[in-house]
Chains A and B, each alone.
Chain A
Amino acid sequence: MKIFQFLKDLLQLAQLRQRNFVYLIILIICAESLLAPTPFLFSWLIASLNAGLSSQEIIEIICLFAAATFALNLGHALITIARVRLSRRFSLDAANNLRHQFFCHLVRLPYGYFLNHQAGGQATSWLNDIDDVDKAIAELVNVAITSFIRLLIFGTALFLWNPSIAGLALVMMPLTVLIQRRLRATVHKRSREKVDLREALSSTIAEAANTISVVKSFTLESLLHKHLHTTSEAYQLADVSIETSQSALRSSASVVLIFTQYMFFVFGGWLVIGGELNVADFLAQILLITMLIEPLNNVLQYYNVLTQSHASLHRIQETLDLPTEDNDERRHVKQLTDANAGASLTFDQVHFRYHEDIPLIEDLSLTLQAGETLAIVGPSGSGKTTLFHLLLGLYHANSGTITLAGTDISTLSLETLRHHVGVVFQEQTLLNTSIRNNLLLGADDPESITDEQLWHILSLAHANDFVASFPDALDTVVGLNGIRLSGGQRQRLAIARVILKNPDVLLLDEATSALDSVSELHIQEALNDVLESRTSIVIAHRLSTIVHADCIVVLEHGRIREQGTHTELLEQGGVYKSLYDAQVEGFINWEASS
């Protein structure tokens, strides 16, 4: 049965240490056994009422009964409290295990995964899913196992006391389970629907917030609201359907229990009439049966919790089953064989496509000696940024090899590869933390970096002025996605942190596009010093920033159209020449006409 498999999965997650689990069970058995004598004491009390005792004796018996019952219950309470530390630790360990495993996995999923999913918006539902599983594990011990043990103890007591009545109860129980199976399927299906709808709702509204400039300038608010309204309506219906099925589940269980109870009342009464059972035992057994109801209900309810968390764990499992980016066996090289030789780069017949039918990089071959600067130009969509993604191992070439310092990067561990390669992208995201922490992303050993070093690096990136102008300086929190900073400021911080990282190979993808010409010029100078000693690839639209490159490559449709130095390419009179003309045309035309 699926649900038992799931239980097994849960226990596996819990990685329970058997000894702890045995202690736990022993504690539960002790606690629950303390509750079992109550009906017997009760029977004793009622029986003594008709035993012809004196008033004094009855008072004594009553006091004894009260004291014993109270003491037993107190004992139960105390043991339960003692047990909780153990059991909650047990369930949290399990859930944390899952949390740890999940986030370990998540941060290592291939980059493409994050592009295809509303990843940021999903954090909430991931955490909710794990909470569901947490709850399932916590209640497994606190509710399910406890109730099950109580059922066993009380059931056994009843069976020993009056086998025929216990038999009756036993017959009824499977009936309960049978009725419930049908409804459960509905709940399961609808729960999933509901979760999906909830996700759709939150991602739609989050998307609206992310695209707010477009939403507002095109006045799309009503349109989006209509979408949300429809989704919310579907969510509402799924919600009602789940809750109704669940309450039907609960009621169907209780009807069977009540039926058992009254069957017992009639049957027991008949036994009393026939003289086979005395009234005191009859009443005590009724009490015992009543005491069975709560744990039985708990066990059945736990089934609901399981069903719900089953859907959640399933979804988590789906994510966990996705391969991580570093699961490739070949990536075992931890050190560049000849690190001192400098970082030369070679592309050899590299092919790559995101989708089956759209080739992005085709048959690309290039060699770059250590310390050289390569500039890539070409129309947008020609594969420039993709080349960087390949070089960083964010995506993998479909065929062909890329070698760094003589080592095929597909054999390098991703950590090593990225240790040697630094990058600044055009659209720069920052973590919602202090500027200091954002810079320290570039430091291998963040503790050893002093503030002076940080300020020095900031000044190299021409970022010291604006950082110093914030009241909190380095401790300024930049806001979600660095929203409190301008695009140019974000780019300068990104440049600063890559300078701090000090990689052998530097990739700049339109790194200064959000800056005005004057700031750009300054940074360009700073970057020139940085670029001097290392292998670098620069993507830029402004030709003024790349004319000094050792080699310029013109990419078009993922193929190299032209290759050479600035002067060589101008002489060739090809694409580069026309790009160059296009860029200076505005002035030349004007100068011609003036």
Chain B
Amino acid sequence: MNMFQFLWLHIRQGRGFLWQAVVLILLMAIVNIPLPMLNKIGLDYLIPAGDTLSLITLGALAFFMRGGASAFQVLQNYVVHRVMAAMGHSLRCSMMHAMLHAPYPLFVSGDISKHIGRLASDVEHAEGFVFDTIRFFIRPICMILVISTIMLVLDWQLAVLALIFSPACLLVGFRLRFALEDAQKEVLAKRQALQYNVTDIIENIRAIRCFAREDRYQASIDAEVHSYTDTSITFALKQQTLQAFTHIILLLPWLLVVCIGSYRVFHHHMTLGDMMAFVVFIELLRSPLFQFIYFWSEMKARLVSSKRAREVCDLPDEYANGDSKPLNTGSISLNNVCFAFGSTPLFSNLSLDIPDGQRVALVGPSGGGKTTLSNLLIGFVHPDSGSIKIDGHASAALNPACLRQHIGMVFQDNPMFDGSIRYNLLFTNDPSQDEKIWAALTQAEAREFIEELTGGLDTTIGTRGLKLSGGQRQRLAIARVLLKNPRIVIMDEATSSLDSLTEQRIQQAMDSMLAGRTSVTIAHRLSTIVAADRILYLENGRIIEDGNHAELLKRQDAYYRLYQTQTDGLI
């Protein structure tokens, strides 16, 4: 699929309006162009004949023709924008669809965020692609063709002379315009750097605040603004120079027509009306020429944006492949799984069997691969080789949606949406299932604090749930997994930000939640781990100890040491 096919796919969304737009443009050209001829009739025939009445009629006719053309213009603009907006909508939706369905690693690497920052402008530019093609390419071509024809019919010699200048104007115009592009690129790059800087500072505002370094970062923004300003001035200078030159160049055909025209009028080779008609035609030619230059120079930027939009649409869709199979049990089996971050291997030939209903705890130092293992299980990342089987089905052959419906996850830092508590639990604002929600909240020890909020379940909890404390968010996250009711639960440091008392209460809730389910729990705190059926000690991607609490303590090895550091000072 080439670029144009790609764009066409989205333009098609507004195809109902597309042909209307073309018809309107043609109508515009037809109505608008013969107008200068009316001037000629008035000048050459009516005024010399002293026919006032006809002159008034002529004036009225011309006015209505132009008025009609203006009305067409509005209609045409409406229609063209319908096409554009429909295309923009279609493109925007496809891009967002592709982003949302892109594999998890792309989010972590920041690729997606980069695309998000450019989404609005990319769509606008791609939309502009259509608009520009219609307004600044198709229409000017129609205009130029019709005008040149009429001029040639009126006086072919003068017409040829006047028209010869047009390509020359175009050439010079292009040259100057391209000289501008580099300057423009620089301006845009500076502008983007400024934007990234500002975003970054805002995201880190609490740290900057706490160190009272506002001035330092204010200064860094100011510096960036200044360099942006300097490039902008260079650009403006070049631009204005270009405009001034273009103005002079476009004056030439006009001068030519007036000078040669006058000479021919003097010798009675043409009438004054003809000459005036020529003058008006030359004026009319001016804007299509300008539009041409504009079109070609903008096209590049438009194409870059369109290409980027396409890149986004072409992002791999992780849900595109794999079958949906009914998953029943929660058995997990890893067979010779290898996984590497770039060139750094993490797992090599990791094998592991977790029978249905077992509670497994993963322990070990940071960087040992605990989080990666849970990411592998839920299909956020995929093994380089080897297989993972869930309920006997190879997870690589399963549709991720099917797999993820089967697995529930609680994270260390549970982000919340900027919406109501209800929305964050069941992802709907429909209150019909509130009873279920309250039941889950009770189980997750979260009922109490939500009841204290005046808004109840309708309370909005702010960006990333920042209005709640870490523990409160944790309990909501547990409640939403309870509502999801999956066969397998993965908890990545789920209780690390809870105080012991709350943790203890949640522990009871979790016990009842985990009963009968397969669970994989990553935890640093031993009290969370002790209750597990089986403890895996993961270090450098290898399981170095495997057994229950009592067994591992008896070995007096890695787990035992961990236990020691933890209980040190307490017992």
B436 at the interface (CB under 8 A from A): no
Complex interface: chain A residues within 8 A of B156 (CB): none
The stretch from A10-18, A59-67, A314-322, A336-344 touching chain B is: A59-67
- Tell me whether A208 and B237 are in contact in the complex, defined as CB-CB below 8 angstroms, given that A251-B73, A426-B470, A431-B204 are known contacts: no
Q: Are B93 and A232 in contact (CB under 8 A)?
A: yes
A233 neighbours in B (Cβ, 8 Å): 89
Query: How distant is the Cα of A354 from the Cα of B468 in the complex, in angstroms?
Result: 11
Contact B42 A247 (CB under 8 A): no
Asked if B4 is an interface residue, CB under 8 A from chain A, the answer is: no
Q: Are B525 and A224 in contact (CB under 8 A)?
A: no
The number of chain A residues with a CB under 8 A from chain B is 177
Q: Is B416 an interface residue (CB 8 A)?
A: yes
Q: Please tell me if B547 contacts chain A, counting CB pairs below 8 Å.
A: no
Cβ of A418 and Cβ of B407 under 8 Å apart?
A: no
A77-B247, A116-B462, A265-B39 known; A92+B497 contact, CB < 8 A: no
What CA separation (Å) do A135 and B504 show in the bound complex? 60
Tell whether A486 pairs with B52 under 8 Å between CB atoms, given A55-B266, A427-B470: no
The reply on B276 being an interface residue by CB < 8 A is yes
Is residue A214 within 8 Å, beta carbon to beta carbon, of the partner chain? yes
Taking the complex as formed, is A178 at the interface, i.e. its CB lies under 8 A from any CB of chain B? no
Cβ of A186 under 8 Å from chain B: no
Which of the 9-residue segments A149-157, A158-166, A298-306, A575-583 touches chain B? A575-583
Binary contact track A195-212/B, C-beta < 8 Å → 1, others 0: 000100111011111111
Contact call B380/A216, Cβ cutoff below 8 A: yes
CB-CB < 8 A to A65: which residues of B?
258-259, 262
A392-B409 contact, Cβ under 8 Å, with A77-B248, A218-B404? no
Chain A residue numbers with a CB within 8 Å of B470 are 380, 426-427, 510
Tell me how far the C-beta of B336 lies from the nearest C-beta in chain A, rounded to whole angstroms.
26
Whether a CB of chain B sits under 8 angstroms from the CB of A99 is yes
**DSSP majority for the B interface?**
helix
Given the complex of chains A and B, what is the CA–CA distance between A520 and B50 in angstroms? 104
Which of B62, B100, B245 is within 8 Å of A208, CB to CB? B100
Interface digits, A409-440 against B, CB 8 Å rule (1 contact, 0 not)? Answer: 00000110111011101111111110000000
Given A92-B232, A270-B55, A247 contacting B73 (CB threshold 8 A) = yes
Which of A217, A422, A488, A513 lies in contact with B407, CB distance below 8 A? A217
Given contacts A81-B240, A232-B89, contact A221 B101 (CB under 8 A): yes
B453→A358 contact, CB < 8 A: yes
* Distance in angstroms between the alpha carbons of A290 and B276 in the assembled complex: 12
Chain A residues 29-73 with CB under 8 Å of chain B are 42, 45-46, 49, 55, 58-59, 62-63, 65-66, 69-70, 73
In the complex the two chains form, is B266's CB within 8 Å of A49's CB?
yes
Instruction: Report the Cα distance A354→B93, complex, angstroms.
Output: 38
Instruction: Give the distance in Å from the alpha carbon of A425 to the alpha carbon of B427 in the complex.
Output: 30
B229:A92 contact, CB within 8 angstroms: yes
User: Considering the chains assembled together, what is the distance between the CA atoms of A254 and B35 in angstroms?
Assistant: 15
User: From A488, which residue of chain B is reached at the shortest CB distance?
Assistant: B366
Task: State the interface size on chain B (CB cutoff 8 A).
Answer: 169
Contact yes or no, B463 A247, CB < 8 A: no
Q: How far is the CB of B76 from chain A (nearest CB, A)?
A: 8
B202 at the A interface (CB under 8 A): yes
Interface centre among B101, B463, B466, B527 (most CB of A within 10 A): B463
Contact with A along B474-512 (1 / 0, CB 8 A): 100000100010000000010011111111100000000
For B371, give the chain A residue with the smallest CB separation: A486
- Does A328 reach chain B (CB closer than 8 Å)? no
A269 and B42 form a contact (CB under 8 A): yes
Contact A258:B401 (CB < 8 A) given known A96-B225, A103-B198, A385-B469: no
Point out the residues of chain B lying under 8 angstroms from A541, CB to CB: 496-500, 503
Checking B107, B200, B208, B493 against A107 with a beta-carbon cut-off of 8 angstroms, the contacting residue is: B208
Smallest distance from the beta carbon of B423 to chain A beta carbons, Å? Answer: 10
- B472's partner among A104, A225, A381 (CB-CB below 8 A) is A381
Contact B251 A544 (CB under 8 A): no
> In the bound complex, what is the Cα–Cα distance between A480 and B463 (angstroms)?
17
Does A255 lie within 8 Å of B464, measured CB to CB? no
CB distance from A21 to the nearest CB of B (A): 18
Task: Given A73-B247, A262-B62, A480-B203, decide whether A124 and B530 contact each other with a Cβ distance below 8 A.
Answer: no
**Which residue of A66, A232, A235, A262 contacts B259 across the interface (Cβ within 8 Å)?**
A66
Q: How far is the CA of A382 from the CA of B110 in the complex (A)?
A: 35
In the complex, whether B367 has a CB less than 8 A from a CB of chain A is yes
B205 nearest in chain A by CB position: A114
Cβ distance B457 to chain A, nearest Cβ, rounded Å:
16
* Interfacial chain B residues near A116, Cβ < 8 Å: 462-463
Give min CB distance, B362 to chain A, whole Å: 11
Chain A, residue nearest B528 (CB): A586
The yes or no answer to B325 lying at the interface (CB within 8 A) is no
B237-249 interface code vs A (CB 8 A; 1 in, 0 out): 1001101110110
Contact B484 A544 (CB under 8 A): no
> A123 an interface residue at 8 Å Cβ cutoff?
yes
* A window 552-594: CB within 8 A of B: 575, 578-580, 582-587, 589-590, 594
A270 CA to B46 CA, complexed, in Å: 10
Contact present for B209 and A392 (CB under 8 Å)? yes
Chain B residue at smallest Cβ distance from A544: B569
Q: Is the CB of A120 within 8 A of B202?
A: yes
Closest-by-CB residue of A relative to B454 is A357
Contact indicator B550/A544 (Cβ below 8 Å): no
Q: Is the CB of B52 within 8 A of A270?
A: yes
Report how far A198 CA is from B217 CA in the complex, Å.
28
Which residues of chain B come closer than 8 Å to A123, judged between CB atoms? 195, 198-199, 202
In angstroms, how far is the closest chain B Cβ from the Cβ of A435?
14
| B549 and A590 contact, CB distance less than 8 A | yes
Q: Chain A contacts of B437 at CB under 8 A? A: none
Task: Known A62-B259, A104-B218, A207-B417; judge A115-B530 contact (CB<8 A).
Answer: no
Interface pick from A1-9, A236-244, A398-406, A451-459: A236-244
Q: Does A370 contact B (CB under 8 A)?
A: no
Q: Is A442 interfacial (CB-CB < 8 Å)?
A: yes
Determine whether the beta carbon of A118 is less than 8 Å from that of B200. Answer: no
> Which residues of chain A come closer than 8 Å to B185, judged between CB atoms?
none
Interface: B214 (CB within 8 A):
yes
A353 within 8 A of B: no
> Is B85 interfacial (CB-CB < 8 Å)?
yes
- Whether the pair A225, B96 counts as a contact (CB closer than 8 A) is yes
Q: Is B376 an interface residue (CB 8 A)?
A: no
Chain A hits for B471, CB < 8 A: 379-381
Cβ A587 vs Cβ B567 within 8 A: yes
Chain B residue numbers with a CB within 8 Å of A594 are: 550
A221-B101, A262-B63, A265-B39 known; A232 vs B92 contact (CB < 8 Å)? yes
- CB-CB under 8 A from A269, the residues of chain B are 42, 46-47, 52, 55
Q: Which of B113-121, B173-181, B326-334 contacts A (4 or more CB under 8 A)?
A: B113-121
Q: Is B320 an interface residue (CB 8 A)?
A: no
A432 in contact with B97 given A80-B240, A89-B233 (CB within 8 Å): no
- With both beta carbons as reference points, the residue of chain A lying nearest to B217 in the complex is identified as A107
Q: Assess A62 versus B263: contact at CB under 8 Å? Given A81-B240, A92-B232.
A: yes
Task: Point out the residue from B229, B262, B413 that lies within 8 Å of A487, measured CB to CB.
Answer: B413
- Interface pairs (23), CB distance under 8 Å: A45-B258, A55-B267, A89-B233, A119-B202, A214-B415, A216-B104, A217-B404, A221-B100, A224-B100, A225-B93, A240-B85, A247-B77, A251-B74, A254-B70, A269-B55, A392-B209, A418-B210, A422-B210, A431-B207, A543-B500, A584-B527, A586-B528, A590-B549
**Among all A-B residue pairs, the 10 with the closest Cβ atoms:** A380-B471, A247-B77, A586-B527, A266-B59, A77-B244, A418-B212, A84-B240, A211-B415, A586-B530, A88-B236
Known: A517-B566, A579-B501, A586-B529; 12 extra A-B contacts, CB below 8 A, are A58-B262, A85-B233, A88-B232, A124-B195, A218-B480, A240-B85, A243-B78, A279-B272, A380-B474, A380-B498, A433-B200, A584-B567
